[in-house]
Amino acid sequence: MAKDMEIVQVVGIGIIATITILAIKTQRPEIALQLGLISGLVIFFMLLGRITSIVAMLNDFAVKSKIDMQYIGLLFKIVGIAYICEFGSEICRDAGENSIASKIELAGKVSIMAMALPVVTALVNFLGGILS
Amino acid sequence: MGIDLVFRIAAIGILISVLNAVLNKSGREEIAMMTTLAGLIIVLLMIVNEVVNLFDTVKTIFQF
């Protein structure tokens, strides 16, 4: 199977995993949840190569357009935090624990805000300097 | 990693279901509960590796 048609494998794994989870859900819901978790992980690891090359390409663009590297690094970290938080909160939601999922999302928002704070401060100072 | 991990966990799940049903029917309910817990822990151990892998990979890709 050519590398471009990897999406077919991804969809195939997704469908098979969903059907298996449905078959087990009534009997052993805890195992069904872990099955959902592991199939999500498997699909993510299949995409890993593509994601790495996209990130490298974005890095390249940033270097070429002379943007300060720490801003791009900050952007990537924020995307990373967002992805991990979404992964965790969706797993909790699958298990019916909506409150825990919301707490995880809150933690992600707070972390992102804390990371972006220096940039926001610099921006506000800069604007204050212009206006005064 | 790959689809075989998914099938292995599904197989463990089905095995646990069957064992649970058999043990419940023959009256040994506490053993049934213990086998369920044991199966859960086994699957959890299989998964923890992959989850740690996930977090390490996200850290390297997104330059933490």
Min distance B6 CA to chain A CA atoms (Å): 6
Q: What is the pLDDT of residue A28?
A: 86
**Which regions of chain A are under pLDDT 70?**
1-2
* Element containing residue A28 per DSSP (H, E): none
Chain A residues in contact with B50 (beta carbon < 8 A): 38, 41
User: Do A9 and A46 touch, CB atoms closer than 8 A?
Assistant: yes
Range of the domain at B54: 3-61
pLDDT at B31 exceeding the cut of 70: yes
Q: Which two tokens stand for residue A76?
A: 């990537």
Count CA atoms closer than 13 A to B43's CA, side-chain side. Answer: 28
Q: Looking at residues B37-46, what average pLDDT do you find?
A: 91
**How many structural domains does chain B have?**
1
Q: What is the pLDDT of residue B45?
A: 92
User: Do A24 and A35 touch, CB atoms closer than 8 A?
Assistant: yes
Residues A50-87 pLDDT 10s = 888 998 998 898 889 888 888 888 888 999 999 999 99
**What are the residues whose beta carbons fall under 8 Å from the beta carbon of A14, sequence distance 6 or more?**
A39, A43
pLDDT at B57 exceeding the cut of 90: no
Min distance B47 CA to chain A CA atoms (Å): 7
pTM above 0.95, yes or no: no
CA B18 to the chain's CA centroid: 15
pLDDT higher for A116 or B1? A116
Only one residue has tokens 């401060």, namely: A121
Complex-level ipTM = 0.81
A-side interface with B, Cβ within 8 Å?
Answer: 13, 16-17, 20, 23-24, 27-28, 30-32, 34-35, 37-39, 41-42, 44-45, 48, 51-52, 55, 73, 76-77, 79-80, 83-84, 87
**Residue A90 and residue A68: Cα distance in Å, rounded?**
34
